[in-house]
């Protein structure tokens, strides 16, 4: 067998593989002899079918199969040993005069080569790294929310502003029959509020869903309908009031503190606000970090210049997709995927140049941290190491979970690298200002 490579240009090459009869004949003979032992052909006992008959019936198919296996293994080995970094997969060149009846065969494959380029993490223009703080307004809202959540319900006769109402929404048209509890501040518009205000338990209110609530997503819960149906829904519904309650905010005392945190760890309003601030800013840090990762990704893609074997990749997309594509469709798919491909190449280079790796022990610890966070959300704040090890082992036995967690851990390592090496400009903002600046 002989393999040669011809470079067309820096991004394209052709590999030629020459296979002689000596390369495949022994393997084909072995397979045909195995067929002969197992073949069931009328008129012959099993294992006594003439080899010539077996060759006539199965020879061509076995030859094609064995040559293709040999070809694929040889090509893979060649690319690995020669350390040729290809994009997509090698594409076989069509040969109009190819003859499977010949003794020797020659195959050609087009290669799209990965480009050579340099990545500069630290650029001249700084990337904004947001530091989101929980300001006094946020802390006041959080404290009020906690006091309401743990407050005392006081039954009332009539609905007034700020009350909590429980009742059932019904609609024959949409087959809705759903019980819901909500506060009056969810209701939108003076006309709707007037219908609720002064109502009593047992009253039936006739309402229109359009412009009924401040946030259309609340309709999903009120009516128990899906997300798409809730948007722009315009139907008549009846609401039967069953309970009216006023929630008296809980006092800021030790009883409340111990409901929120381990007993005795918070003993004053100042300490409560400090803990709320700490917890909130941990959550904000995750959002700020994700924003930073997105911005640096965008920066690297925009400022790391290199060419791609575009025509090869379009051809590869056209010929290897699940469904046949026209040249125009393949071009459109390439345009959609080009940016992602560029970042994959950039990220891979950064990982290799900075020797970023994910070890099994790191992955296990990362999985245990993820598990602890999940358990804490359900009130299990102090799981044993044995319990964590058992759950982590179960998760890491799943290949998809290992892939997902490995990608998350590598993203974390990349983020740490960017924080260390990138040109960053820290900007302190409140969460409200962060949302306005970043998403609006």
- Domain span at 213: 152-248
Question: Which of residues 320 and 42 earns the better pLDDT score?
Answer: 320
> According to the model, what pLDDT value does residue 49 have?
76
Instruction: Indicate if 298 and 347 belong to the same structural domain.
Output: yes
The residue written with tokens 């929630």 in the block is: 247
Read off the pLDDT of residues 21-76 as tens digits, 9 standing for 90 and up. 999 999 999 998 888 887 777 777 777 778 888 788 888 999 999 999 999 999 99
When mean pLDDT is compared across 95-104, 240-249, 396-405, the lowest value belongs to: 95-104
Domain count, the chain: 3
CA angle 38, 43, 47 (to 5 degrees): 25
Instruction: Read off the DSSP letter of residue 251.
Output: P
pLDDT tens digits for 112-157? 999 999 999 998 899 999 999 999 999 999 999 999 889 999 999 9
In a domain, 306, yes or no: yes
Residue 130 lies in a domain: no
Cα gap 358→371, rounded to integer Å: 18
User: Nearest 5°: phi and psi at 338?
Assistant: -60, -45
Please report whether residue 123 resides in a domain: no
Of 111-115, 230-234, 236-240, 406-410, the least confident: 230-234
The percentage of residues in the chain with a pLDDT greater than 70, rounded to a whole number, is: 99
pLDDT given for residue 12 in this prediction: 97
pLDDT for the residue 222: 94
* 392-414 tens-digit pLDDT: 999 999 999 999 999 999 999 99
Instruction: Calculate the average pLDDT of the chain.
Output: 92
Average pLDDT of the residues in 205-215: 93
- State residue 37's pLDDT score: 81
For the domain that residue 431 is a member of, what is the CATH number?
1.10.3120
Rounded CA gap, 27 and 1, in Å?
Answer: 15
Identify whether residues 166 and 32 lie together within a single domain: no
Residues 238 and 275 in one domain: no
The residue-averaged pLDDT of 252-264 equals 92
Q: What is the model's pLDDT at position 249?
A: 93
Render pLDDT for 271-318 as a digit per residue (tens, 0 to 9). 999 999 999 999 999 999 999 999 999 999 999 999 999 999 999 999
Residue 234 lies inside a defined structural domain of this protein = yes
Task: Return the closest-CA partner of residue 404 out of 377, 353, 370, 432.
Answer: 370
Q: What is the pLDDT of residue 216?
A: 84
Residues 164 and 274: their CA atoms lie apart, in Å, by 30
Q: What is the pLDDT of residue 366?
A: 93
Q: What SS3 state is found at 422?
A: coil
CA distance 215 to 231: 10
Residue 143 belongs to a domain: no
172 and 319 housed in the same domain = no
- CA distances 289 to 45, 132, 286, 294, 419, Å, are 73, 10, 5, 9, 10
């Amino acid at each position: 067998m002989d393999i040669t490579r011809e470079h067309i240009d820096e991004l394209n090459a052709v590999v030629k593989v020459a296979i002689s009869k000596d390369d495949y004949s022994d393997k084909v003979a072995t397979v045909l002899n195995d067929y002969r032992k197992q073949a069931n052909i009328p008129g012959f006992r099993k294992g006594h079918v003439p080899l010539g008959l077996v060759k006539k019936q199965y020879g061509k198919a076995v030859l094609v199969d064995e040559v293709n296996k040999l070809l694929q293994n040889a090509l893979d080995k060649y690319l690995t040993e020669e350390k040729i970094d290809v994009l997509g997969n090698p594409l076989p060149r069509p040969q109009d005069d190819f003859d499977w009846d010949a003794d020797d065969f020659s195959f050609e494959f087009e290669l799209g080569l990965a480009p050579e380029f340099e990545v500069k993490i630290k650029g001249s223009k700084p990337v904004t790294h947001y530091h989101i703080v929980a300001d006094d307004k946020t802390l006041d809202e959080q404290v009020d929310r906690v006091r309401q959540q743990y407050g005392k319900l006081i039954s009332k006769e009539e609905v007034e502003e700020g009350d909590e109402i429980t009742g059932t929404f019904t609609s024959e048209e949409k087959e809705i029959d759903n019980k819901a509890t909500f506060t009056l501040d969810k209701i939108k518009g003076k006309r709707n509020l007037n219908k609720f205000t002064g109502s009593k338990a047992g009253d039936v209110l006739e309402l229109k869903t359009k412009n009924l609530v401040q946030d259309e997503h609340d309709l999903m819960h009120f009516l128990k309908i899906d997300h798409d149906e809730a948007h722009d829904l315009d139907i008549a519904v009846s609401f039967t009031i069953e309970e009216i309650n006023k929630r008296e905010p809980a006092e800021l005392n030790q009883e409340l503190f111990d409901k929120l945190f381990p007993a005795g760890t918070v003993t004053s309003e100042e300490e409560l606000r400090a803990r709320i601030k700490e917890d909130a800013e941990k959550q904000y840090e995750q959002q700020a970090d994700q924003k930073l990762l997105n911005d640096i990704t965008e920066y690297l893609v925009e400022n790391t210049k290199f060419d791609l074997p575009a025509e090869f990749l379009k051809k590869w997309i056209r010929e290897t997709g699940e469904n046949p594509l026209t040249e125009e469709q393949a071009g459109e798919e390439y345009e959609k995927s080009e940016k992602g491909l560029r970042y994959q190449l950039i990220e891979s280079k950064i990982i290799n140049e900075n020797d970023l790796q994910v070890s099994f022990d790191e992955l296990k610890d990362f999985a245990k941290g993820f598990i602890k966070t999940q358990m804490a959300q359900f009130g299990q704040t102090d799981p044993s190491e044995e319990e964590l090890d058992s759950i982590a082992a179960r998760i890491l036995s799943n290949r998809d979970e290992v892939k997902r967690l490995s990608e998350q851990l590598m993203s974390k390592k990349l983020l740490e690298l960017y924080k260390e090496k990138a040109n960053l400009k820290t900007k302190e903002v409140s969460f409200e200002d962060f949302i306005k600046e970043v998403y609006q």
